[in-house]
Amino acid sequence: MSPFINTEEKPNGLIHAVSLDEKGGCKELDWSEVNSSTTEQQLWLHFDYCDAEAQDWIRNCSGLNDVAADGLLRPENRPHVLTRGNNLLLILRGVNLNQGENPEDMVSVRIWTNGTLIISTRKRLLTSTRDVLERLEDGVGPESTNGLLVSWIERLILRMNDTISNIEDQVSDIEEGLFDKEPSELRSELLKIRQQCIGLRRYIAPQREALSKLVSEPIAWLTEIDRLTLRSIADRQIRYVEDIDAIKERATMVKEELMSRVSEQLNNRSYVLTVVAAIFLPLGFFTGLMGVNVGGMPGIENDFAFWLVVGICTLCTGLLGAYFYWKKWF
């Protein structure tokens, strides 16, 4: 008997419907085969939750209760796990590897399963979903729905590795170019890295908790091997969170060093200006005094008085410079 309420027309939001052959492969199903499926068949139905027909089918024809339907269709969901008996609702997020998109703008996937049937929804393409489907089409995929779930989670977490490694490489490049590149350029790069870390950690941290909780849930259809694999995946997710925290700390240290460098440059320039001002201040007073247009100024009638003033100014400059050098002020 079909687990669904039969509907003649396939919902427009159905992305794919496949039946696992228990040999690592799958068969693409048309809508009539979905309607005639039995509760023993291992099915995977994947929907675009933004489509109105998909929403209507999930709410009214899938046989799911309101909590499960809301979990599959709610636009904003943080990673979490809900169970009821052997039914599992899992909300996860993966890095956005779509063309022209930012990896930290993470893509969500919502999965409901009872160990035989998987109903999942998404808005944007998730590369880990494509990976699992391609392996099934090649006949080297998981042999059961619980294996499909574990493999899907594993691919989703594994896809984060390259993104986090790329961010680490960017921080290393900034550290190497700290004394070569312009501070304004480095500050903009650091700001982007910090934004990426904040965006990734916002969802990866609760996802770490969700995966840890999934391992300990008393779900009958999860085998011991599945739990060991999930525990390994959860540990990897914890390591990614720690890597992101380490990247943020490195970025903060680089920012502090950058600000120290900028401050040092500013202090050096201010120091040079102070030394120059200290040298020319008495000279300015002397030349100002000699330029007073009042009676009694010495040397007015002397042809050599101008050169005498120039010599006195030069001598004062040399003496001040020597004094500053002796005091190691420059």
Assign 3-class secondary structure to 185-222. HHHHHHHHHHHHHHHHHHHHHHHHHHHHHHHHCCCCCC
Sheet holding 14-20, edge to edge: 26-28, 14-20, 43-48, 117-122, 107-113, 87-94, 80-84
- 109 or 9, which is more confident? 109
Cβ 211 vs Cβ 153: under 8 Å: yes
Q: What percent of the chain has pLDDT over 70?
A: 94
Whether residue 224 is predicted with pLDDT greater than 80 in this model: the reply is yes
pLDDT tens column, 52-87: 999 999 999 888 999 999 999 988 788 999 999 999
pLDDT in tens, 225-266: 999 999 999 999 999 999 999 998 888 888 888 787 778 777
pLDDT of residue 278: 74
The closest alpha carbon to 141, from 230, 212, 42, belongs to: 42
What is the residue type of 255? K
Q: Quickly state the pLDDT bin for 294 (edges 50, 70, 90).
A: low
Count, residues in the chain: 330
Q: What average pLDDT does the segment 301-324 reach?
A: 76
3-state secondary structure of 13: coil
Which band of pLDDT confidence, cut at 50, 70 and 90, is reported for residue 330?
low
| Residue 140 confidence (pLDDT) | 92
Q: 190 to each of 135, 161, 163, 169, 253, how far by Cα in Å?
A: 38, 20, 16, 12, 11
Residue 211 has pLDDT above 80, yes or no: yes
- Tell me the C-alpha distance between 289 and 304, whole Å: 18
CA distance 93 to 124: 11
Q: pTM of this prediction?
A: 0.79
For residue range 190-201, what is the model confidence (pLDDT) as tens digits? 888 888 888 888
Give Cα separations from 64 to 47, 119, 149, 153, 193 (angstroms).
Answer: 15, 10, 18, 22, 41
For residue 236, give the amino acid letter. Answer: R
CB 260 within 8 A of CB 252: no
Percent of the chain residues past pLDDT 90, beyond the cut: 40
Asked whether the predicted pLDDT for residue 32 surpasses 70, the reply is: yes
Q: Which two tokens stand for residue 182?
A: 């312009």
The residue with tokens 């994947």 is 46
Q: What is the model's pLDDT at position 315?
A: 81
Task: Please determine, for residue 109, whether its predicted confidence score (pLDDT) is greater than 80.
Answer: yes
* pLDDT at 319 (0 to 100): 79
pLDDT tens, residue by residue, 140-180: 999 999 999 999 999 999 999 988 999 899 888 888 877 77
How high is the pLDDT of residue 69? 92
Distance CA 246, CA 154 (A): 23
Helix (H, G, I), strand (E, B) or coil at 98: coil
Instruction: Find how far residue 296's CA is from the centre of its chain.
Output: 79
At residue 329, the pLDDT reads 63
Confidence class for position 97, pLDDT limits 50, 70, 90:
confident
59 close to 69: Cβ distance less than 8 angstroms: yes
What's the CA gap between 122 and 106, in Å, rounded? 12
DSSP bridge pairs for 107 = 94
H-helix segments, the chain: 31-35, 52-60, 66-73, 127-137, 145-158, 160-176, 183-216, 224-290, 305-326
**What's the maximum distance between 2 C-alpha atoms anywhere in the chain?**
125
- Which tokens sit at 312? 């006195």
**What does R_g of the chain's alpha carbons equal in angstroms?**
36
Residue 219: what pLDDT? 92
**What is the architecture of the domain spanning 14-261?**
2-Layer Sandwich (3.30)
For 130-143, the pLDDT digits (tens) are: 999 999 999 999 99
Domain spans in the chain, listed from the N-terminal domain onward: 14-261
pLDDT digits (tens, 9 = 90+) for 269-293: 777 777 777 777 777 777 776 676 6
